Amino acid sequence: MKNIAVFVSGGGTNLQALLDAEKRGEIENGKITLVVASKEGVYALERAKNAGVKSAVINRKQLGESFDAALIALLEENKIDLIVLAGYLSILSPDFTKRYDRKIINVHPSLIPSFCGAGFYGLKVHQAALAKGVKVTGATVHFVNEIPDGGEIILQKAVEIQTGDTPEILQKRVMEQAEWKLLPRAVSLFCQGKL
């Protein structure tokens, strides 16, 4: 059984999708054993508590230079096999991503290589897609390396853009139709040794 840590920065909707998938038995050979938040007071911590999952806050601003060491110590103490970035807004250092090569996955709300990289997160991704006038967007689950959104692609799913979409409406559709389906599937594939 693989131990999974989910890194969060906000409401934790992708965390909830993973917890729900685990409850339904859709994450084969894996268990979410730790939730790591980038700051205090985010609703994702409440979701972890409600699910009976251990949680911790590792704040980069407070820890400064010792951030990586604190994160690594926490992961080792909990024998973590897979790190899932689920709306985690802190960029991980190149040293950290090298240490956990092919053991960190992220979900990004576009079809990489479109609308990705530094500065593209949350609603900004959907604003850019709508501004460009693309007809299809979607989500991508990928391995994390030292380049933001630059790691090997694991899964992708397209989502159609509809007339009258706002960034908020599009964000919700991409989550429901793509992110919440792809992320549990990718985690399960990893835990089964199929990636």
For residue range 134-183, what is the model confidence (pLDDT) as tens digits?
Answer: 999 999 999 999 999 999 999 999 999 999 999 999 999 999 999 999 99
Report the pLDDT averaged over residues 29-56.
Answer: 98
Buried b (16+ CB within 10 A) or exposed e, 68-90: beebeebbeeeebbbbbbbbbeb
pLDDT by residue (tens digit) across 13-38?
Answer: 999 999 999 999 999 999 999 999 99
| Active-site residue, 108 included | yes
- Rg of the chain (C-alpha set): 16
Q: How far apart are CA 106 and CA 97, in angstroms?
A: 12
pLDDT tens per residue across span 63-87: 999 999 999 999 999 999 999 999 9
Domain ranges of the chain: 2-191
Residues in the chain: 195
Active-site choice (12, 80, 105, 108): 108
Architecture of domain 2-191: 3-Layer(aba) Sandwich (3.40)
Name the average pLDDT for the chain. Answer: 97
